[in-house]
Amino acid sequence: MKAAILGVGLIGGSLALCLKERTSCHVSGYDLSQKTLDWAVAAGVIDDGSRNLEEAVEDADFIFLAVPVGTIPELLSRLERQSLSPGCIISDVGSTKGKLVRWSEPFRKRGVTYIGGHPMAGSHRSGVEAAHSLLFENAYYILTPSPETPLSEVQKLSGLLQEATRAKLVIMDPFHHDRLVGAISHLPHVIASGLVNQVGRYNEENEWFHRLAAGGFRDLTRIAASHPVMWRDILMSNRGELLKLMDDWLSEMEKVRDAIKRGDAEKIEDFFRRAKFLRERLPERRKGMLLPSFECYVDVPDQPGMIGRVAMLLGEEGINLSNIGIMENREDTAGVLRLVFQKEEDLKRAIRFLNEAGYRVFSFD
Ligand SMILES: NC(=O)c1ccc[n+]([C@@H]2O[C@H](COP(=O)([O-])OP(=O)(O)OC[C@H]3O[C@@H](n4cnc5c(N)ncnc54)[C@H](O)[C@@H]3O)[C@@H](O)[C@H]2O)c1
Ligand SMILES: O=C(O)C(=O)C[C@]1(C(=O)O)C=C[C@@H](O)C=C1
C-alpha cells in the first residue's frame, strides 16, 4: 500500500512516522520546500519526497493533506484534476471541517472517497523536525464523512489510522466539529495570544512585567507561541462560530468586570468556585507525547551541582524522572527546580522522599 502525505510538517511528518512505524505502507511526501523533503527522507520520516504533486500521489491508496487550512481547498482542486488510483481515499488533518464538506461529492463521482479528518493532538511547535510517532497516541482523532460516504471506506480509513496512530477514532458532523473545537481550541488560542499581546504592551513601559511572568501566565499562554499562519487560516475558516463564541466570551468577561466594579465579593467568589468545580471534573487526558505530566517544584539554593544532586537522590531511590529544569524566572539566591514524572506514583514518592531529605516541595496536583 502507498500513502502520500501532502505537507510534511509537524502533523504530516508525525502521521508519516506512524504509518512507517506501524503499517506496511510505503510513504511518499510532497511539500513546497525541498529542504523539508530532504530532511524528512534523511531522517526516515518518509520513504521518498517530491515537489511534483502528480508524482507524489501516483498509485496512492491513501492521500493525506497536512497543509495549513487555507491551502487545503487549492490542493484538493488540483487533486480533482489529477489521475488517481480507483478506490483511493483522500483525507486531511485540518483544524476546521465545515468548509471542506463540498469536496466529497466531486471526488465520489470519480470513484474516489474524500473524508475530512482532524487529530486532536498537536503542539505549539511546527515543522517536520518536531514530528513524533507518539503524537496522536490515545488522543481523539475525528473523522467527518458525509452521509453518502460508503461505510466500508470510512472503516478502511479509520482502520489504517487506528493502527498507525493508536488514537481513538470518532465520527462527527463537520459543523458540529467546528463549534466544538471553536470553543475548546480556537477561542483559547485567541485569548492566550490576546493576553500575551496585552502584557507585551505593558512590558514596553516596564520590563518587570515579563520578568515576573510566572507559572500561571506561562501555563495559560504556551499556545500563544503557535504558528501564526496556521492560526490565521483556522480563524478565517471558522469565522461564523468564532464570532458567536467571542460574543459569549465578552459577555462572560463583562459579568466579571461588573462584579469587580460593584465590589460584589460573592459573585467574584462564585465565578472562581464554579470554574474550579468544572476544571477539576474535566475528563482525564491520556495523550501520548503530550501526556499530562505529573510535576512538582523544589526550592533549592542556586548553586552549581544542585540539579545533579536532586537527580542523583531520586535515581538512588529508583524514582524515574522524565524531565528536570530550572524555573526561568527566578534570578536571586534561591532557585526552583521543576521535576516532571510520567507516573503519579513516582511524583508521590519523590515528594515524600524529598520532604524527608529536608527539601521544600510544592505540587499542584
Ligand atoms: N499544529 C497542531 O497542533 C495541529 C494539530 C492538529 C491539526 N493541525 C492541522 O494540521 C495542518 C498542518 O499543521 P502543522 O502544524 O503540521 O503545520 P507545519 O507548518 O508544521 O507543516 C505544514 C507543512 O506544509 C507545507 N506546505 C505549506 N503549503 C504547502 C503547499 N501549498 N503545498 C505543499 N506543502 C505545503 C509546509 O512547507 C510545511 O512543511 C494544518 O491544517 C493544521 O490546522 C495542526
Ligand atoms: O497543544 C497544542 O499546542 C495545541 O494547540 C493543539 C491543538 C489544540 O488546540 O488542542 C491545536 C490545534 C489542533 O487543531 C488540535 C490541537
ipTM: 0.98
Distance, in Å, from the CA atom of 131 to the CA atom of 139, rounded to the nearest integer, reads 16
Distance, in Å, from the CA atom of 23 to the CA atom of 165, rounded to the nearest integer, reads 10
Q: Report CA(243)–ligand 2 centroid distance (Å).
A: 20
Q: Report CA(210)–ligand 1 centroid distance (Å).
A: 30
- Residue 336, domain CATH: 3.30.70.260
Q: Do 190 and 65 share a structural domain?
A: no
pLDDT in tens, 269-281: 999 999 999 999 8
In the block, residue with C-alpha cell 488540483? 78
Range of 239's domain?
177-280
Ligand 2 touching residue 122 (CB < 6 A)? yes
| Residues 229/68, Cβ–Cβ less than 8 Å | yes
In a domain, 289, yes or no: no
Residue 335: which of 287, 286, 284, 299 has the closest Cα? 299
Q: Do 316 and 233 share a structural domain?
A: no
Torsion, Cα 93 98 103 104, to 10 degrees, reads 90
In a domain, 288, yes or no: no
Ligand 2 touching residue 227 (CB < 6 A)? no
Per-residue pLDDT of the chain (365 residues; tens, 9 = 90+): 999 999 999 999 999 999 999 999 999 999 999 999 999 999 999 999 999 999 999 999 999 999 999 999 999 999 999 999 999 999 999 999 999 999 999 999 889 999 999 999 998 889 999 999 999 998 999 999 998 999 999 999 999 999 999 999 999 999 999 999 999 999 999 999 999 999 999 999 999 999 999 889 999 999 999 999 999 999 999 999 999 999 999 999 999 999 999 999 999 999 999 999 999 988 866 544 444 568 888 887 767 787 888 888 898 889 988 777 766 444 444 567 878 888 888 999 999 999 898 888 877 55
Beta strands in the chain (DSSP E): 2-6, 26-30, 48-50, 62-65, 89-92, 113-119, 140-144, 168-171, 294-301, 323-326, 334-341, 360-363
Q: Do 142 and 13 share a structural domain?
A: yes
In a domain, 285, yes or no: no
| Residue 203 phi, psi dihedral angles, 5° rounding | -70, -25
Mutual angle of helices 151-165 and 10-22, in 10-degree steps: 90
In a domain, 98, yes or no: yes
Q: Report CA(179)–ligand 2 centroid distance (Å).
A: 15
Question: Which of 256, 280, 304 is a domain's end point?
Answer: 280
Q: Do 241 and 96 share a structural domain?
A: no
In a domain, 41, yes or no: yes
Q: Do 137 and 202 share a structural domain?
A: no
- Residue 212, domain CATH: 1.10.3660.10
Q: Do 100 and 14 share a structural domain?
A: yes
Q: Whose CA is nearest to atom 10 of ligand 2?
A: 185
| Residues 84/110, Cβ–Cβ less than 8 Å | yes
Distance, in Å, from the CA atom of 158 to the CA atom of 142, rounded to the nearest integer, reads 9
The tally of domains found in the chain comes to 3
Q: Do 146 and 64 share a structural domain?
A: yes
* Residue of 69, 97, 120 with the most ligand 2 atoms within 8 Å of its CB, for mutation: 120
